[in-house]
């Protein structure tokens, strides 16, 4: 099953309700547009984290890629890590319930304003493959955003 949901109440980051759910702009769009629940300005040469208050459930052999829109690229806005890779076990994690976040970086010279309901990126579901001779992995996710990064 593949679907978007609002995160549980204790994982909501802002008081802006109702949450605008992701949707495709056209019938042939690959990406689901995700929207800002807050007004925010990203100063030049700085970054801001925006949580969508939305989580995504999908199959174990799939990934959700988070990307900026082409229009954001025209305004010199990018994801700080260039591409968000969301694993299926991010859904429902204990620390943030799978809240999808965009850390946006403004590499331009002008402030970039985002209003409630503006697109802040898109999510694309894809299948992925693993190698046949991989040893069994028994480690399970215990946290949310950035939790699998080695400290």
Number of H helices, E strands in the chain: 1, 11
- Share the mean pLDDT of the chain: 92
d(CA 63, CA 71): 24
Looking up tokens 């990064």, which residue turns up? Answer: 149
Residue 5: how many CB atoms within 10 A of its CB?
15
Buried b / exposed e along 34-65 (16+ C-beta atoms within 10 A): bbbbbebebeeeebbebbbbbbbebeeeebbe
Q: Give the mean model confidence (pLDDT) for residues 108-133.
A: 96
Q: What is the pLDDT of residues 98-116, one digit of tens each?
A: 999 999 999 999 999 999 9
d(CA 12, CA 113): 22
Q: What is the pLDDT of residues 49-61, one digit of tens each?
A: 999 999 999 999 9
> pTM higher than 0.85 for the full model?
yes
3-127 topology per CATH: Deoxyuridine 5'-Triphosphate Nucleotidohydrolase; Chain A (2.70.40)
**DSSP conformation class of 29:** -
Contact in structure between 20 and 109 (CB atoms under 8 Å): no
d(CA 10, CA 106): 30
């Amino acid at each position: 099953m593949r679907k978007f949901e609002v995160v549980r109440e204790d994982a909501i980051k802002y008081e802006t309700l109702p949450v605008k759910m992701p949707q495709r702009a056209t019938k042939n769009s690959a990406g689901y547009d995700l929207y800002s629940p807050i007004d925010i300005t990203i100063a030049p040469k700085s970054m801001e984290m925006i949580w969508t208050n939305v989580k995504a459930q999908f199959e174990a052999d799939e990934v959700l890629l988070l990307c900026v829109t082409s229009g954001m690229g025209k305004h010199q806005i990018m994801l700080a890590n260039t591409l968000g890779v969301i694993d299926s076990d991010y859904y429902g994690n204990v620390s943030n319930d799978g809240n999808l976040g965009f850390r946006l970086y403004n590499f331009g010279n002008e402030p970039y304003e985002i209003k409630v309901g503006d697109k802040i990126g898109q999510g694309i579901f894809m299948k992925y493959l693993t190698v046949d001779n991989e040893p069994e992995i028994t480690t399970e996710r215990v946290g949310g955003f950035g939790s699998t990064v080695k400290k």
